Amino acid sequence: MNKCTLHDRRVLALTSIGLAITFVACGSHRLEAAPVDFNRDVRPILSNNCFQCHGPGASNRKAGLRLDIESGAKADMGEYRAVAPGRPNQSELISRITHSDPDERMPPADSGKALSSEEIAVLKRWIAEGAGWSRHWAYEPPKKHPIPEVKNSDWPLNWIDPFLLAKLESADLFPSPDADRVTLLRRLSFDLTGLPPTWEDVSSFLADEKPDAYEKRVDRLLASPAYGERMAMYWLDLVRFADTVGYHGDQDHSISPYRDWVIDAFNRNMRLDQFTRDQLAGDLLPDSSIDQKIASGYNRLLQTSHEGGVQPKEYLAIYAADRVRNISAVWMGATMGCCQCHDHKFDPYTMKDFYSMAAYFADIDEARHLTEGTNTLPTKREPEMKVLSRAERERIDALTSRIATWHADLSPKSPQDAARRPLRKRIRDAQRELETIQKNARLTMITVAIEPRVMRILPRGNWLDESGPIVQPEVPEFLRPLRRATGRANRQDLANWLTDPEHGCGLLTARVFANRFWYLTFGVGIVKVLDDFGGQGEAPVHPELLDNLAIEFVQSGWNIKHMMKLLVMSRAYRQSSVVSDALERVDPYNRLVARQSRFRLSAEMVRDTALAISGLLVRDIGGPSVKPYQPAGYYRHLNFPERRYTAHTDRRQWRRGVYMHWQRQFLHPMLKAFDAPSREECTAQRARSNTPLAVLVLLNDPTFVEAARVFAQNILCQPGSAEFRIDFAFQQAVSRRPDDWERQKLADLLTASREQYRSNTEGAVQLIHIGEAPPATDVEPFELAAWTTVARAILNLNETITRN
């Protein structure tokens, strides 16, 4: 078997993009030995080129022909059969896609689609080989697959590894060597907590030669409160959590307790089924707790409007559609949004499914704001509730019981006034703290059920058209039905169904999430498209592995920490991310996982990392959103009311990015520059761009300049030579010592900056006064300014903001 055939076969498992690249790389070589796999090779071609007119959508189906189901494709149409198994020459499909008359040729020219000769060859071969058919992979329940045999049996560390290795071996590829321990610890720290390791973490890990050294770090990081913050960053993108209403006046709304609940839920390792239930239906659960009510804020996260001209019916229709888009993307990996106006063209979802799903949420009390919404900050979005977080409530309990005890101690049995005085003070202090906590109770939007609104199918999505049939809450017809003994199904039933592996679509949900955990730890999903498991998405590169991960997730009791640990304990996770030229050519997008991935940190992590390195980072958990420095006038286009942003001047200034005020219409320019989404819609995967605007942030945003200066102050606290200090600074930022060349470069920068600032004290004073943190007074301004410059260089390094 020559190399190119190998490439071809391997590449079939990859994306169509990968396919094209390898075709180019291999010149005129064609697919040979490997038998065609329907789901992997054929369905994507049919879906992309044919289903629009010959697919699930009934309304515009042409010639009565369906190619998305086997019975349709192979049906005897009287004069012809589209697909005659084993006989490509007698298959109308082949004759039409190869027709010499452009008017007869499929797909039609005006569709903008065209089949490549490779794609035609695949279809011909598929029919010649018997036109095997299987249901779309995502709708087949996952099966448990045996762990494959591998030649290099020393390599695997857990059961994930043989699945990857077997594929590599069949392609004559090898996994990459293990990453060095520093890189590994940095990777692990970013992936599990979103923060870089401290130099102490690094040193102790390097010194720990016990076999469980790595696992101990994994456990420690999973137990860190920062883990919940890191996971929340991702979750909040999915569910489009933001601090403002999004439409028109983009006023603040009250919802930060929901964010804190998410962080807490991840930290407590709440099961995904409960996590789902509390959010969709926390208000409906028996003896619904405060936390469950806070969680039910999920249903209120969508964009809302009370603009003067809004028509309630229109906006209730917009909200219903928004919810269906979000639920289907987050839990089902489905793009049901298409079905607002017509049956899905590629997947078996129908308009009726869309509005029936919307009907589950028809009981949510939300119409009031359309008429009662106020142009205030925050605006009114009733129903809302004043709440304390779990941590605050626990503190109150603790204080209350302590006060009770102290009161008991004050009993007349100890009459001496001298002994009573400190006790009284303690009680007073505790009471004061209690009051402060109570006073800081926050409003949060919650879900309250009312009499469900009538839900109709809106013809072509038109809310003015009330001729469509009324629908009841139902799950998509082609999936397993939701069973309910009596009465109208509700959100709780839906939540149960979404996470019920036996009677619901729980296994689909499990696959969707297993794939996302993989994305969080490997940088690219086993299924690359994280929110579309439909026909237009992409088949998994390692379907058996994904199946087993999904089953593992369910069997572990929807245990997210268990899954994250499983992934990071694999040998595959620990590989180096350095890519050889050969591997780069064969697998440029790392779909075979013959190495780890390298990518820039997410926006929040870029911020957190700079603050952590500088020593400025404040690790408080939860609370109202915080406001870091932001360019003046950035909100000038906001109105109702006009907006003035006031940055916090206390410790809130240096908190983690996950707590930043998320203004949907004008997201903080720093977050935006590093590809954080506005959270108007579900974002399952952020872009990772590299733009001049992001560079300007790192260079000039006061947050980063201040971080550099405070970092410099810490550097200057280190005794010793400039070289020693440079080493210290480098270690803090990138967890390694600089080499001689790097040290010299930074020393040169230091020398030149020092000279310049020595003759420009005014400039030095200006630089070191950027930011709220007080500048050190025990050092000459020129010296601090020069070191600030060095620190800026270090914070700007690619390595500093890269997870590799």
Partner 1 sequence: MKPPVSNKLAAEINRRTFLARGGVGLGSLAFTSLLNQGVFASGSRRSPSGLGTLPHHTQKAKRVIFLCMAGGPSHLETFDYKPKLAAMDGQPMPDSFTKGQPIAQLQGQTLKCQGPLTQFKKYGQSGQVISDFLPWHAKMADDICVIRSMVTDQINHDPAHTFMNTGTAISGRPSMGSWVTYGLGSETEDLPGFVVLTSVGGRNPQPIASRQWSSGFLPSRFQGVEFSANGDPVHYVRNPAGVDSQQQRRLVDTVQQLDAHRNQAVRNREIATRIAAYEMAFRMQTSVPELMDVSNEPRHILDMYGAQPGDGSYASNCLLARRLVERGVRFVHLYHRGWDHHGGLVQYMNICCPLTDQPTWALIQDLKQRGMLDDTLVIWGGEFGRTPMSQVKGGKGRDHHIKGFSMWMAGGGVKGGISYGATDDLGYYAVENVVHIRDLHATMLHLLGLDHTRFTVPFQGLDMGLTGVEKARVVRDILA
Which positions from 101 through 130 interact with partner 1, judged by CB under 8 A? 110, 112-114
Distance CA 665, CA 592 (A): 39
CB closer to partner 1 out of 47 and 499: 47
497 to each of 271, 331, 491, 698, 802, how far by Cα in Å? 15, 11, 10, 46, 40
Residue among 2, 3, 20, 212 that touches partner 1 (CB under 8 A): 20
Residue among 123, 127, 530, 605 that touches partner 1 (CB under 8 A): 530
Residue among 716, 765, 773, 779 that touches partner 1 (CB under 8 A): 765
Residues 358-397: x where in contact with partner 1 by CB under 8 A, - otherwise, as a string: ----------------------------------------
Size of the site for partner 1 (CB under 8 A): 115
* Angle of helix 740-758 versus helix 781-795 axis, rounded to 10: 140
Q: 644 phi and psi, to 5 degrees? A: -130, 125
Q: How far is the CB of 753 from partner 1 (least distance, A)?
A: 7
The residues in 608-647 that bind partner 1, with binding defined as CB under 8 A, are 631-634, 636-640
The torsion region of residue 735 among left (phi > 0), alpha (psi -120 to 50) and beta comes to: left
Q: How far is the CB of 418 from partner 1 (least distance, A)?
A: 57
The residues in 426-455 that bind partner 1, with binding defined as CB under 8 A, are none
Contact call for residue 525 and partner 1 (CB under 8 A): yes
The residues in 314-353 that bind partner 1, with binding defined as CB under 8 A, are 314, 335, 337-338, 346-347
Residue among 396, 410, 529, 779 that touches partner 1 (CB under 8 A): 529
CB closer to partner 1 out of 267 and 732: 732
The residues in 144-183 that bind partner 1, with binding defined as CB under 8 A, are none
Q: Considering only 53-61, 417-425, 438-446, 750-758, which stretch makes contact with partner 1 by CB under 8 A? A: 750-758
Q: Considering only 275-283, 413-421, 483-491, 517-525, which stretch makes contact with partner 1 by CB under 8 A? A: 517-525
Q: Considering only 55-63, 98-106, 214-222, 752-760, which stretch makes contact with partner 1 by CB under 8 A? A: 752-760
Contact call for residue 772 and partner 1 (CB under 8 A): no
Distance CA 11, CA 285 (A): 49
Distance CA 443, CA 377 (A): 12
CB closer to partner 1 out of 374 and 756: 756
Nearest to 593 by CA among 171, 146, 42, 17: 171
Residue among 316, 388, 768, 776 that touches partner 1 (CB under 8 A): 768
Extended strands (E) in 571-705: 599-600
Q: How far is the CB of 584 from partner 1 (least distance, A)?
A: 7
Collect all residues with Cβ–Cβ distance below 8 Å to 397 and sequence separation of at least 6: none
One-letter amino acid at 78 equals G
Q: What's CA 659's distance to the chain center, in Å?
A: 16
CB closer to partner 1 out of 430 and 765: 765
Q: How far is the CB of 114 from partner 1 (least distance, A)?
A: 8
764 within 8 A of 757, measured Cβ to Cβ: yes
Q: How far is the CB of 7 from partner 1 (least distance, A)?
A: 16
CB closer to partner 1 out of 114 and 419: 114
Torsion of CA 782, 788, 793, 796, to 10 degrees: -150
Residue among 118, 474, 742, 780 that touches partner 1 (CB under 8 A): 742
Q: How far is the CB of 706 from partner 1 (least distance, A)?
A: 9
Task: Give the dihedral sign, CA 384/386/392/398.
Answer: negative
Residue among 229, 250, 291, 500 that touches partner 1 (CB under 8 A): 250
Residue among 278, 343, 531, 547 that touches partner 1 (CB under 8 A): 531
CB closer to partner 1 out of 398 and 752: 752
| DSSP helix/strand/coil, 312 | helix
β partners of residue 575 = 178
Residue among 73, 351, 568, 785 that touches partner 1 (CB under 8 A): 785
Q: How far is the CB of 316 from partner 1 (least distance, A)?
A: 14
798 within 8 A of 732, measured Cβ to Cβ: no
Distance CA 737, CA 282 (A): 51
Q: How far is the CB of 785 from partner 1 (least distance, A)?
A: 7
CB closer to partner 1 out of 53 and 554: 53
Q: Give the number of other Cβ atoms within 10 Å of residue 136's Cβ.
A: 19
Structural tokens at position 421: 């005085």
Collect all residues with Cβ–Cβ distance below 8 Å to 724 and sequence separation of at least 6: 718
Contact call for residue 535 and partner 1 (CB under 8 A): yes
The DSSP H or E segment spanning 442 is: strand 442-445
3-state helix, strand, coil in the chain (%, to 5): 50, 5, 45
Residue among 247, 355, 522, 659 that touches partner 1 (CB under 8 A): 247
CB closer to partner 1 out of 419 and 699: 699
204 to each of 152, 208, 739, how far by Cα in Å? 32, 6, 22
CB closer to partner 1 out of 435 and 799: 799
DSSP codes of every residue in 236-303: HHHTT--SB-BSTT--B-S-HHHHHHHHHHHHTT--HHHHHHHHHHTTTSTT--HHHHHHGGGGG-S-
Q: How far is the CB of 263 from partner 1 (least distance, A)?
A: 25
Q: Which residue blocks in 570-678 are alpha helix, DSSP H? A: 581-586, 603-614, 669-673
Q: Considering only 6-14, 300-308, 393-401, 559-567, which stretch makes contact with partner 1 by CB under 8 A? A: 300-308
Distance CA 511, CA 549 (A): 7
Q: How far is the CB of 326 from partner 1 (least distance, A)?
A: 12
Q: Which residue has the tokens 């996952």?
A: 142
Cα angle vertex 542, ends 540, 222, to 5°?
A: 95
Q: How far is the CB of 633 from partner 1 (least distance, A)?
A: 5
Torsion of CA 766, 770, 773, 779, to 10 degrees: -30
CB closer to partner 1 out of 90 and 639: 639
CB closer to partner 1 out of 187 and 277: 187
Structural tokens at position 392: 């605050």
Q: How far is the CB of 669 from partner 1 (least distance, A)?
A: 4
Q: How far is the CB of 109 from partner 1 (least distance, A)?
A: 10
The residues in 556-585 that bind partner 1, with binding defined as CB under 8 A, are 577-579, 584
Q: How far is the CB of 516 from partner 1 (least distance, A)?
A: 11
CB closer to partner 1 out of 188 and 684: 684
Distance CA 164, CA 160 (A): 7
Q: Considering only 17-25, 160-168, 206-214, 264-272, which stretch makes contact with partner 1 by CB under 8 A? A: 17-25
Q: What's CA 47's distance to the chain center, in Å?
A: 27
Pairing of strands 599-600, 802-803: antiparallel
Residue among 56, 142, 162, 246 that touches partner 1 (CB under 8 A): 246
The residues in 679-738 that bind partner 1, with binding defined as CB under 8 A, are 680-681, 684-685, 687-697, 699-702, 705
Residues 457-476: x where in contact with partner 1 by CB under 8 A, - otherwise, as a string: -------x------------
